[in-house]
Chain A
């Protein structure tokens, strides 16, 4: 936490939360403890705790961050599998997933062994999971069961782990400052969530997918997304981006955050639940808060990696002919 810019970011969040706490107090003082306001107070209180834990992990340095996200992955997967009706035949498979695949993934990520981080889950784990389930001998709904576990592992472990992995993106002229980039991603995505919710409540008319998520409206997405983009852009000084780049990356975060939330909501509904769990008072489960980060993390990571990464690996380089063809097609 030696970086003053990081302290400004933290200070900004603390100020916003103080204002939110104050407004909640005033509203409750004025109109009593209605259900909506009690929920609001719970949510604001939970935000304080989430912010404190998140900042503490940053203060502990890289290992703190990886431990924190490892734990989050564990809790998220726990909620996911609890809601998914996995039968007896999956018990041993899931034991391997929770106690070996998950910790090893975070060990590879934190090491950092970038190549292994990339393929450990999509190649090795995804080959292992159906093998272990097949050995258990239960063929009932085999494909569905395999897909279910793989989806949980992909989102809760693999996608989520891209957030701490941002600490290892070697960006020219930004060495040792990556904590701010992680802060930026989490902040913009979560603020986008909150803004979409608030603007949706205020102006929401057109529901985007009422069956999947009744609270997601076109107006909420547009106004809330615009507000989050503005905030994201105004934080360009903390990122390796120019203001224009910060705006573009904020839009990327808003969009991928929105769709992450939408898809996870659809998954949740298909499992017949309203909330993922009851771990965070006022919010639901851990996954209810993380859902928008699941898609945002990996997409942000790889876009930034493509444009800025110079030394971690060469795989981002496209072949010359493809590059030329693209330029020709775009016409520049």
Chain B
């Protein structure tokens, strides 16, 4: 209930549209997107139809979401986030990949940001290998690229107040899993391009003119 209302408010505030058809084929989905704003996972989550939203879990940085009781409550109760550490020592101890696979095994769809951190410039940084691991461990899961437009202008890194501009979440066709003989780097670049080609030319550094 809280989730439905929140998703509606997020769509109202960001102008992002509700996705009308995600086929219910019993397949697990991993949504991966460019990352430039705190709004990113909320927006993908809000754009999904209610039923899918219920079992879709964002993968987020533990260090950030464990900082205060409020953040912890939001992450665990509303978004049921899979919290993974960025810190190397903790990464070794907690096995982030295992956590994600466990979530998928439990029937969750994931939202991941393979750049690892939010971009400052609006450009899409090279992807970290996590997505490749997920894809090879769960070749049955669908890898769905998502391009998030304008969210870095609504709430850029380091800003507290969002602007009431209109953003968009463009969902693409699933990307094929790593082919036999395809290198990790080649797969990651292919995945990155599948996100960027959804931008339809909107992926320009904010200082440039549109035309």
Contact = CB atoms under 8 A, between A and B. Distances in A.
Interface stretch (A25-33, A85-93, A238-246): A85-93
A270 B211 CA distance: 7
Interface string A62-93: 00000000000010001101110111100110
Interface in B181-210: 204, 206-210
Q: Which 7 A-B pairs have the closest CB atoms?
A: A272-B211, A272-B210, A87-B206, A82-B166, A82-B165, A87-B207, A95-B161
B156 A88 contact: yes
A141 B205 CA distance: 14
B210 A79 contact: no
Contacts of B86: none
A86 B205 CA distance: 10
B156 A81 contact: no
A277 interface: yes
A314 interface: no
Most buried by A among B153, B206, B210: B153
Given A85-B204, A91-B159, A277 B166 contact: yes
A106 B209 CA distance: 32
Interface string A264-287: 000000111000010000000000
Given A85-B209, A141-B207, A270-B211, A91 B156 contact: yes
Given A91-B156, A271-B211, A86 B164 contact: no
A94 interface: yes
B211 A88 contact: no
A81 B166 CA distance: 9
B163 interface: yes
A6 to B, nearest CB: 32
B34 interface: no
Interface of A: 74, 78-79, 81-83, 85-88, 91-92, 94-95, 98-99, 140-141, 270-272, 277
Contacts of B163: 81, 91, 94-95, 98
Contacts of A85: 204, 206-210
B165 A78 contact: yes
B150 interface: yes
Nearest to B120: A88
B165 A140 contact: no
Interface string B151-182: 00100100101011110000000000000000
A300 B211 CA distance: 34
5 contacts: A81-B165, A83-B210, A86-B153, A91-B153, A271-B210
Contacts of B206: 85-88
A78 B164 contact: yes
Interface in B103-121: none
A105 B156 CA distance: 27
A85 B152 CA distance: 12
Interface in B1-48: 15
Nearest to B121: A88
B207 A140 contact: yes
Nearest to B165: A82
A318 B157 CA distance: 53
A82 B207 contact: no
Contacts of B161: 95, 99
B33 to A, nearest CB: 19
Contacts of A78: 164-166
Contacts of A277: 15, 166
Contacts of A83: 210
Contacts of B210: 83, 85, 271-272
